Amino acid sequence: MWLYLAVLVGLYYLLRWYRERQVVSHLRDKYVFITGCDSGFGNQLARQLDQRGLRVLAACLTEKGARQLRDQMSDRLETVILDVTKTESIAAATQWVKEHTGDRGLWGLVNNAGIFMPTAPNEWLTKQDFMKILNVNLLGTIEVTLSLLPLVRRARGRVVNVSSVLGRVSFLGGGYCISKYGVEAFSDSLRRELSHFGVKVAIIEPGYFKTSMTRNERFSQGYQEVWDRASPEVKETYGEKMLASFMKSTEILEPSWSGKLSLVTDCMEHALTSCHPRTRYSAGWDAKLLYLPMSYMPSLLVDAVIYWSSPRPAKAL
10 Å Cβ neighbour count for 289?
12
| CA nearest neighbour of 190 among 141, 133, 136 | 141
For residues 262 and 44, the answer to whether their CB atoms sit within 8 Å is yes
Cβ-contact 238, 121 below 8 angstroms: yes
pLDDT in 10s for each residue of the chain, 317 residues: 777 777 777 777 777 777 767 778 888 899 999 999 998 899 999 999 999 989 999 999 999 988 999 888 888 899 999 999 999 999 999 999 999 998 899 999 999 999 988 888 899 999 999 999 999 999 999 999 999 999 999 999 999 999 999 999 998 889 999 999 999 999 999 999 999 999 999 999 998 887 766 555 566 777 788 888 888 998 888 888 888 887 776 654 554 456 689 999 999 999 999 999 999 999 988 889 888 999 999 999 999 988 888 888 887 77
CATH 3.40.50.720 for domain 26-309 = yes
Look up 208 and say whether it is catalytic. no
Q: Which of 12, 13, 18, 176 is catalytic?
A: 176
